[in-house]
A = this chain, B = another copy of it.
Amino acid sequence: MATFKLIEYQDASPEVRAVYDDIMATRKIDWINNFWKAIAHDPATLKRTWESIKQVMAPGALDALTKELLYVAVSVTNNCSYCIASHTASARKKGMTDAMFHELQAVIGMANETNKLVTGYQVEVDEQFKVTLDK
């Protein structure tokens, strides 16, 4: 049960609509998903979060699909159902095949396992990994 009733486009303030419009234009879609409609109750957070997401998720040194896969990896590790559903869908739209999905999940599972083996055995960092780069 959501904390607040979702704010639909027709009920939104001009400030909120401007963000909704930019989301739809940037993503080339004609609807807004619930996350934005929920945080729209706090227009400052809506705007800040959208602008951050827009900047961070834009293709750069990493392509857009890789970034979605990373988002899924974090969301699964954090066990955020909404985020898993939405970013799995986004990743598919950006070209994730079933084979990629399976390998993604296998890596996430494996990483979670070895993270804990390392921790449980209290393994100390190898000198070879203690590298501080100058630039």
Contact = CB atoms under 8 A, between A and B. Distances in A.
Interface of A: 1-5, 31, 33-35, 38-39, 41-42, 44-45, 48-49, 52-53, 55-57, 60-62, 66-67, 69-86, 88-89, 97-126, 128-135
A103 to B, nearest CB: 5
Contacts of A99: 60-61
24 contacts: A3-B88, A5-B133, A33-B126, A38-B121, A38-B123, A41-B102, A44-B55, A48-B52, A49-B109, A49-B114, A52-B52, A61-B102, A62-B104, A62-B107, A66-B69, A67-B107, A79-B80, A82-B124, A86-B126, A104-B120, A105-B120, A105-B121, A109-B114, A110-B113
